[in-house]
């Protein structure tokens, strides 16, 4: 089949552009292939994990995560403590500021501004989050898995755009195996009384989810613990049928975040014939395009409307 | 200003998505900013260099380059020998095949297939290119700059989608300072009689172009000689007013391809107050999005219609 | 000061070469600077965290980690579940095989070989690890922090080259905030009776360690949770005096693993005047060089002998 | 074969460390393999091209390049205009200053300081280079290939550490296919009278060199035109027997600088059974280590002494 140079016309839809990119090369083609796999996952009624590492919420990706949950594109979210904390910030209306990666960090420190590359968050946002979280934490007792804890958070959030709230509404579990590795983790440490967050309960539940009699899929954004925690849950089951990975890491550094999906087949985390593709791209660009494609092209979903 | 998470709806246009990304973070925001700078360049009737390194033609980007020339978005193209050779392949209808980056290269070699990451080109394509080029080369005598040579190619190409043909039609110069570093260079070496391609003539002409009394802009795709050759031409003049760079290289390796546009200001290649942004992204994804944006959003161009 | 090109002679010592690189540029200079900071940390009797993400143990870095503990270069280790599991494999004499990154992963899967880039580990190694770990796990009751759990492991390891054993011997705490995100985590999930690993206890202990009246330093290998977990522990205290980071990630992707140490100053995780440098390099190359330098050049340590 | 963790002792030689790294993994192992290939090249009396892109001379690598020429490790150098210009600066005693990548580039511009990542060069250095070069250029007439031109430079340089001088002394050709893409290129453009630098003569000579009845090897530092120009010269001959590549680029971006040496086999630029390895590492770190290894371990060379 020939490489086909896209003929882009005025007013082209994002989804049609992604479709065209599937006939080009390099990461444009990979993006096009990822989009088709995502579409197939949805149309086959697969159980889809979305794993999100990296500062995706500060970077403005929360409504895309929320949209994927709302539209039924994903069945389960696995993310980091940081994304949870910053989503709470957004949900409480505190948000994040557009900043500069070239700022003077000592000046920022003096102004009580914390920097995440080109995004700023004020110290006082964390104080408001602390008020909110300390309240929730002090209300809870006993052993919680992280997703049960995050549902407790989600049901207390009023913001309808919050993916934590949407996840609670739709009973989509949100796993956060690194909750303690975040400011929320500091708050749990300080304010808990008899609350235990037992991450081995999470492991158990993740394994259960992997044993369903459905097509199983995973959309991996950025590697890290969310990627490994999800793939390892499949070690005892049959392997994923579909896998899409968006990463800026490279295989040749040898780490898990950059590891190929082929490598995952040696571990039987993916089925031998799994449909799998890695897109090497900043997820802030690739994920919105993928979402726009799924919105427009997923037949099953459109027929629901 | 707040980071704003994009609210993506069904049927969203690529250009509107790019606009939204401008209020997010990381490279999505950089892409949004680059798009706005490109729009401003066009609307201010700037003289715009487009520099293209990397295997953009094999990767299916030729019609975007062609479209940018045709729509008057760029005034001058600076590219590599490889892109010229592969554009001739496309223009002669030989094209490129969709391949795999995981192919067995020894098998490919036996089948006379050459691989460029996930794109294949048959050896026989180069034979047809040789027929075409040897003819042109043998017709030419005397001292040519690379852009004069490429106009001679362009006017002999019938394919209307060829950017070499479009460049000839619109008298847009196409500089190729590394023509000898390509299969076309081998052909010139073999078939020339009294033809001299004098790249120092190119230097001269590039410098002249930099001394125009207009806003000066540059869109840099992928670094390499095209980037440096264009920026150095500005050393004697006043500096670029606008610069957009799409690269997958990083500043911290110290090479020119990854060098920041700020660094270029220390050399006075950009004006102190130049509007400049670097997008870290595979150009096969970023360039089509940028083009779609320019098509939809450039006011001056739309009013022409 | 001038850039000075190294004059390398036959028989040059690794430490002298690293010294020379400090007067060059790019990451060679950064490595030279990192080495000097590490030397100063040791000579000032700082409390030094070593954080290790990435598959450093499968990649053959265990004796360097062990050596750094044994020589008193580091006071505390923070690492991943994977490094713990693979260290147990090494300690039990099962080891890792030299493999190829281009292997056929389906063939490997059939042979029960798991691939980590260019390293192989047989499935049966995990079975032996399971025997070992299930025994330890079933012996333990009550609430453990990860470092207490890992001391229990360390004291049961006979291999004197094991860094888990050395850590136990020298009472150096080894934190593993992602123990559950590993095969050891699966084993804990399966075999525990009344064992709870409470990672919030880890948070508490890490914070305590940050409040010491000593110079505080951190050597960050590869980002991930170990990096963040250590830096966040300093949020409530005064900030690190020294920080060295070895990473292959880049700042411009916006994630924590690639975040600059300057950015950490905006969060007050580093003191405003902290000595800090990032080396962009595969840690399998940079860490042995750094270690060789510390062995040769740290005055305090040599005088101990 | 087992991965073997290096046992590093005080006073370890750089070459012994590199040897040990060959039994580890990731890029440490690749470096160890590259070292062995380089040793074999030298011992087999191969004709070895060294291709150098990137700002290696400003970064302090000139004496390593010079040492490789002097010791007979390389038979031919292919590099960029920038490296030539900066080598002239060093040879004239003007040198480069240690700078900061975080400097204010507008301030630097005002002080007439040009920045190359973390290296500075004063504008007046270029004025002195201009004096020197304008003199040479005005003395020459007729058609020169780039290596003939650079020998003319080399023989006029007094600094014995200059690799241009060493290359002239040992009659090692130095090809610079992008001489016009540099400040030297501007000087040729301005000062030449009847001088023509004919890069197609270079193509011819490079092809001749590829047809020798010896083992053929190439050490590729950093990709770019030097890499392609050398590999393409082999297109008509039988292919390289040995190839070592040091790069920080990645295959998945699809460009030539990051292309694997396997890919080069599909083009028959390498023999099917060529010994080849890519090291993903900043060359400022990897190249000195490789050189130290060759100095200590190359048997043929030592016996010469």
| Residue C59 lies inside a defined structural domain of this protein | yes
End-to-end CA distance of chain C: 36
CA angle at residue B142 from B136 to B144, to 5 degrees?
A: 70
- C-alpha distance from A265 to closest chain C C-alpha (Å): 6
> What span, in angstroms and rounded, lies between the C-alpha atoms of B8 and A288?
8
Q: Which residues of B are catalytic?
A: 269
User: Which site among A250, A252, A277 would you substitute to test the D interface, given the most D Cβ atoms closer than 10 Å to its Cβ?
Assistant: A252
**Of the partner residues C26, C253, C254, the one whose CB lies closest to the CB of residue B254:** C26
Partner D contacted by A200 (CB < 8 A): no
pLDDT digits over C1-31, tens only? 999 999 999 999 999 999 999 999 999 999 9
- C-alpha distance from B8 to closest chain C C-alpha (Å): 22
Partner C contacted by B24 (CB < 8 A): no
The pTM for the full model equals 0.97
Please give the average per-residue pLDDT across A28-52, as a whole number. Answer: 97
Sort out which chain A residues have CB atoms less than 8 A from B11's CB and list them: 13, 15, 296
How much is the CA Rg of chain C, to the nearest whole Å?
Answer: 20
| Residue B226 lies inside a defined structural domain of this protein | yes
CA angle at residue D158 from D152 to D163, to 5 degrees?
A: 70
Q: What is the pLDDT along chain D (305 residues), one digit of tens a residue?
A: 999 999 999 999 999 999 999 999 999 999 999 999 999 999 999 999 999 999 999 999 999 999 999 999 999 999 999 999 999 999 999 999 999 999 999 999 999 999 999 999 999 999 999 999 999 999 999 999 999 999 999 999 999 999 999 999 999 999 999 999 999 999 999 999 999 999 999 999 999 999 999 999 999 999 999 999 999 999 999 999 999 999 999 999 999 999 999 999 999 999 999 999 999 999 999 999 999 999 999 876 554 44
| Residue D97 lies inside a defined structural domain of this protein | yes
What pLDDT, on the 0 to 100 scale, is given for residue A97? Answer: 98
User: Could you tell me the residue range of the domain that residue D193 belongs to?
Assistant: 46-289
**Of the partner residues B59, B200, B254, the one whose CB lies closest to the CB of residue D59:** B254
Partner C contacted by D71 (CB < 8 A): no
- C-alpha distance from C26 to closest chain D C-alpha (Å): 7
Q: What percent of chain C has pLDDT over 70?
A: 98
**Can you give the CATH number for the domain in which B123 is found?**
3.40.910.10
Nearest CA in chain A to D28: A253
User: Which site among B1, B2, B4, B8 would you substitute to test the A interface, given the most A Cβ atoms closer than 10 Å to its Cβ?
Assistant: B8
Higher pLDDT, D300 or C149: C149
pLDDT digits over A61-101, tens only? 999 999 999 999 999 999 999 999 999 999 999 999 999 99
pLDDT digits over A208-260, tens only? 999 999 999 999 999 999 999 999 999 999 999 999 999 999 999 999 999 99
> What span, in angstroms and rounded, lies between the C-alpha atoms of A49 and A177?
14
> What span, in angstroms and rounded, lies between the C-alpha atoms of B33 and A248?
21
Give the single-character DSSP code of D193.
Answer: S
Sort out which chain C residues have CB atoms less than 8 A from B280's CB and list them: 250, 252-253
**Of the partner residues D25, D250, D252, the one whose CB lies closest to the CB of residue A254:** D25
> What span, in angstroms and rounded, lies between the C-alpha atoms of C292 and B73?
55
Domains in chain B: how many in total? 1
Q: Are C59 and C248 in contact (CB under 8 A)?
A: no
Q: Nearest-CA neighbor of B165 among C142, D101, B174?
A: B174
Q: Do B59 and A24 touch (CB under 8 A)?
A: yes
Partner A contacted by D9 (CB < 8 A): no
> What span, in angstroms and rounded, lies between the C-alpha atoms of C97 and C100?
10
**Of the partner residues B6, B12, B60, the one whose CB lies closest to the CB of residue A13:** B12
| Residue D25 lies inside a defined structural domain of this protein | no
Q: What is the pLDDT along chain B (305 residues), one digit of tens a residue?
A: 999 999 999 999 999 999 999 999 999 999 999 999 999 999 999 999 999 999 999 999 999 999 999 999 999 999 999 999 999 999 999 999 999 999 999 999 999 999 999 999 999 999 999 999 999 999 999 999 999 999 999 999 999 999 999 999 999 999 999 999 999 999 999 999 999 999 999 999 999 999 999 999 999 999 999 999 999 999 999 999 999 999 999 999 999 999 999 999 999 999 999 999 999 999 999 999 999 999 999 876 554 44
Residues contacting residue B156 through CB under 8 Å, at least 6 positions apart: B132, B136
| Residue B177 lies inside a defined structural domain of this protein | yes
What pLDDT, on the 0 to 100 scale, is given for residue C304? Answer: 47
Q: What percent of chain A has pLDDT over 90?
A: 97
Confidence at C305, pLDDT banded by 50, 70, 90: very low
Give the max Cα distance, chain D: 64
pLDDT(C276) > 50: yes
| Residue B124 lies inside a defined structural domain of this protein | yes
Q: Active site residue: D269, D271, D275, D305, which one?
A: D269
Q: Are A133 and A86 in contact (CB under 8 A)?
A: no
- C-alpha distance from A13 to closest chain C C-alpha (Å): 26
| Residue B91 lies inside a defined structural domain of this protein | yes
| Residue B22 lies inside a defined structural domain of this protein | no
pLDDT digits over C150-197, tens only? 999 999 999 999 999 999 999 999 999 999 999 999 999 999 999 999
Sort out which chain B residues have CB atoms less than 8 A from D256's CB and list them: 54-55, 82
Residues contacting residue B31 through CB under 8 Å, at least 6 positions apart: A285, B18, B21, B22, B279, B281, B286, B289, B290
> What span, in angstroms and rounded, lies between the C-alpha atoms of C47 and C73?
9
């Amino acid at each position: 089949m020939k490489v086909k140079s896209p003929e882009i016309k005025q007013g082209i839809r994002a989804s049609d552009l992604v479709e065209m990119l599937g006939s080009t090369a390099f990461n444009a083609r990979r993006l096009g292939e990822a989009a088709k796999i995502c579409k197939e996952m949805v149309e086959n009624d697969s159980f889809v994990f979305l794993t999100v590492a990296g500062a995706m919420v500060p970077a403005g990706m929360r409504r895309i995560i929320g949209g994927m949950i709302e539209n039924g594109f994903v069945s389960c979210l696995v993310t980091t403590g940081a994304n949870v904390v910053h989503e709470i910030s957004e949900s409480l209306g505190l948000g994040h500021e557009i900043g500069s990666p070239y700022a003077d960090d000592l000046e920022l420190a003096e102004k009580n501004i914390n920097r995440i590359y080109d995004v700023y968050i004020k110290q006082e946002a964390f104080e408001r989050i602390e008020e909110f979280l300390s309240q929730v934490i002090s209300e809870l007792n006993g052993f919680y898995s992280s997703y049960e804890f995050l549902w407790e958070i989600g049901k207390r959030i009023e913001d309808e755009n919050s993916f934590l709230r949407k996840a609670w509404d739709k009973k989509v579990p949100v796993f956060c195996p690194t909750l303690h590795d975040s400011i929320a983790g500091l708050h749990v440490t300080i304010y808990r009384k008899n609350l235990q967050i037992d991450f081995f309960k999470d492991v158990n539940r993740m394994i259960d989810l992997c044993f369903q009699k459905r097509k199983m899929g995973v959309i991996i954004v950025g590697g890290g613990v969310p990627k490994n925690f999800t793939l390892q849950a499949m070690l005892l089951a049959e392997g994923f049928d579909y896998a899409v990975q968006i990463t800026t890491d490279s295989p040749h550094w040898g780490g898990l975040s950059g590891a190929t999906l082929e490598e995952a087949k040696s571990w039987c985390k993916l089925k031998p014939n799994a449909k799998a593709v890695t897109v090497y791209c900043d997820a802030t660009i690739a994920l919105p395009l993928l979402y726009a494609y799924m919105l427009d092209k997923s037949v099953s979903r459109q027929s629901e409307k």
